[in-house]
């Protein structure tokens, strides 16, 4: 299993990378490569050129302030997961990252790369969507910020233009009085999840005033459902908006079953988390 | 169109290897075919089995999921680089290698290089793992012979040998 031939560039500045990308219609960007290289090897992708951004400066950061966590395009999952500041600022980031593949893959794969790869079975696109985060992209035409709600167009398809490179992802901080939780079920440890669920809950006093759920691997894009008005049957409300898919790993019925099992569990865990944070 | 060939300087096990490879050469293939280091085994070639795991700047990574051209700035350690220098021509088995030998941590041996590199790095991070942590450490590597029991024992034994030798 060998990739088809491609031209290769390893630019040392972002400007050089953006110019090369703008000038080559069939070019793809290589960061960690943990999703791209298998696609190349299986010849599911055959770009004419790879633009390797691993030598670009200043993109490996994980910075936190009161607004949230900013993750640079070359920050590896393992590096983000190891940041105590990130885990405090937005705990859902670390909760989900611990479920991303195996540690060996997390040592090389990048969080930003995983997001713009836009796999509905991946954890971080759904987490960014649930948290209402965003991705900053650059091109020779300038920079722009894409809100997560506008980022995922379809299976493995983001709304980045061909000449744009994602340079940073932004995960908003967890507000006081809010809580989060994450759980997924996979056939084997470290495999892609059959279904994964994250919850974001906001309390006023002891009452849940806002509850939103994110689903991965159920439909062909990451889906977020607001269940604030259907707390009596949140899984039912979620399934009304989800379209579980059949594949070789699970039937649509089994996925719907997992949604019914995981939804109340994760919602309860997020509510407990919010209460703990209020009482802390 | 002839394919472009890149001159790549790889740093492997403390030596420099100057190789001439096309951009599509996977690091796993470059190590085996261009550097002649056939200790790194190639199993699934899409990141699932873990047999090709090498250490890149000390961290375990899948060499089948990296391009050789993209590894230029890294210090790579393969299974051949784990053996300790002790003045003898063959060197001394590392604690993890010795533990695999002591505990029958391998049968056919195909997956073993990936386990050895992964556990070597794992024990750097966690020198005294519990049995559960030992299982977690090897969760990303597949073995079809042993049933993993003796590999878990090898992890725990390697931690002991490491302490005995310290």
ipTM above 0.90, yes or no: yes
pLDDT above 80: residue B1: no
Domain B95-165 CATH (choose: 3.40.50.620, 1.10.10.2840, 1.10.10.10, 1.10.150.120): 1.10.150.120
Which one of B22, B29, B61 has the shortest CB-CB distance to A5? B22
Q: What is the spatial distance between Cα B80 and Cα B58, in angstroms, rounded to a whole number?
A: 14
- Which residue from A minimizes the CA distance to B3? A5
pLDDT in tens, A97-154: 999 999 999 999 999 999 999 999 999 999 999 999 999 999 999 999 999 999 999 9
Do B106 and B145 meet the contact criterion of CB atoms below 8 Å apart?
Answer: yes
pLDDT at B155: 98
Fold classification of B5-81 (topology level)? Ubiquitin-like (UB roll) (3.10.20)
Give start-end residues of each CATH 3.30.43.10 domain in chain A: 7-54
Partners of A3 on chain B (C-beta within 8 Å) are 24, 26
CATH fold of A7-54 reads 3.30.43
Q: Which CATH class is domain A62-172?
A: alpha beta
What would the pLDDT profile of A156-188 be if each residue is shown by its tens digit?
999 999 999 999 999 999 999 999 999 999 988
* Closest to A54 (Cα-Cα) out of B6, B72, B60: B72
**For A17-48, how does the pLDDT look when each residue is reduced to its tens digit (9 = 90+)?**
999 999 999 999 999 999 999 999 999 999 99
Yes or no: is domain A178-279 CATH 3.30.420.40?
no
Domain boundaries, chain B: 5-81, 95-165
Mutation test of the interface with chain A: which of B64, B65, B72, B138, choosing the one with the most A Cβ atoms within 10 A?
A: B65
Distance from the B140 Cα atom to the nearest Cα atom in chain A, whole angstroms: 5
Contact list, A40 vs chain B (CB under 8 Å): 24
**CATH 3.30.390.50 residue ranges in chain A?**
178-279
pLDDT of residue A280: 80
Give the pLDDT of residue B16: 98
How far apart are the CA of A38 and the nearest CA of chain B, in angstroms?
A: 5
**Whole-number Cα distances in Å, A272 to A70, A87, A266, B2:** 27, 17, 10, 62
Question: Does residue B110 register a pLDDT over 70?
Answer: yes
What pLDDT is recorded for position A7? 97
Judge contact between A134 and B80, C-beta under 8 A.
no
Q: What is the pLDDT of residue B27?
A: 98
What mean pLDDT is reported for chain A? 96
Residues of B in contact with A249 (CB under 8 A): none
B23 → closest Cβ in A8, A42, A189: A8
Interchain CB distance below 8 Å, B73 and A55: yes
């Amino acid at each position: 299993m060998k990739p088809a031939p491609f031209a290769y560039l390893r630019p040392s500045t972002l400007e050089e990378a953006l110019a090369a990308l703008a000038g080559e219609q069939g070019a793809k960007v290589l960061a960690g490569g943990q999703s791209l290289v298998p696609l190349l090897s299986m010849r599911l992708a055959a770009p004419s050129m790879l633009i390797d951004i691993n030598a670009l400066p200043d993109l490996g950061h994980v910075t936190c302030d009161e607004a949230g966590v900013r993750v640079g395009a070359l920050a590896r999952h393992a590096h983000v997961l190891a940041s105590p500041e990130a885990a405090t600022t937005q705990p859902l980031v670390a909760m989900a990252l611990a479920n991303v593949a195996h540690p060996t893959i997390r040592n090389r794969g990048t969080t930003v790369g995983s997001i713009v790869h836009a796999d509905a079975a991946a954890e971080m696109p759904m987490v960014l969507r649930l948290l209402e985060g965003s991705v900053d992209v650059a091109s020779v035409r300038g920079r722009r910020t894409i809100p997560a709600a506008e980022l995922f167009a379809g299976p493995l398809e983001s709304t980045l233009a061909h000449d744009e490179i994602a340079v940073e992802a932004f995960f908003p901080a967890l507000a006081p009085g809010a809580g989060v939780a994450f759980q997924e079920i996979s056939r084997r440890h470290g495999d892609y999840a059959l279904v994964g669920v994250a919850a974001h809950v906001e309390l006023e006093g002891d009452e849940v005033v806002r509850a939103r759920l994110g689903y991965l691997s159920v439909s062909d894009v990451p889906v977020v459902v607001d269940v604030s008005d259907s707390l009596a049957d949140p899984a039912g409300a979620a399934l009304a908006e989800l379209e579980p898919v059949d594949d070789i790993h699970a039937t649509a019925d089994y996925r719907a079953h997992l949604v019914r099992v995981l939804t109340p569990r994760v919602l309860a865990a997020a509510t407990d988390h919010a209460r703990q944070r209020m009482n802390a | 169109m002839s394919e472009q060939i890149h001159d790549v300087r790889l740093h492997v096990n403390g030596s420099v290897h100057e190789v001439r490879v096309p951009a599509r050469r996977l690091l796993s293939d470059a190590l085996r075919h261009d550097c002649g280091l056939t200790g790194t085994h190639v199993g699934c070639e899409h990141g699932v089995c873990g047999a090709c795991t090498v250490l890149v700047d000390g961290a375990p990574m899948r060499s089948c999921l990296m391009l050789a051209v993209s590894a230029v700035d890294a210090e790579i350690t393969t299974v051949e680089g784990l053996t300790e220098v002790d003045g003898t021509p063959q060197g001394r088995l590392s604690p993890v290698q010795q533990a695999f030998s002591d505990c029958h941590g391998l049968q056919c041996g195909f997956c073993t290089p990936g386990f050895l590199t992964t556990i070597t790095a794992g024990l750097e991070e966690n020198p005294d793992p519990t049995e559960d942590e030992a299982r977690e450490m090897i969760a990303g590597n597949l073995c079809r012979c042993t049933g993993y029991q003796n590999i878990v024992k090898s992890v725990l034994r390697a931690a002991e040998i490491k302490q005995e030798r310290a």
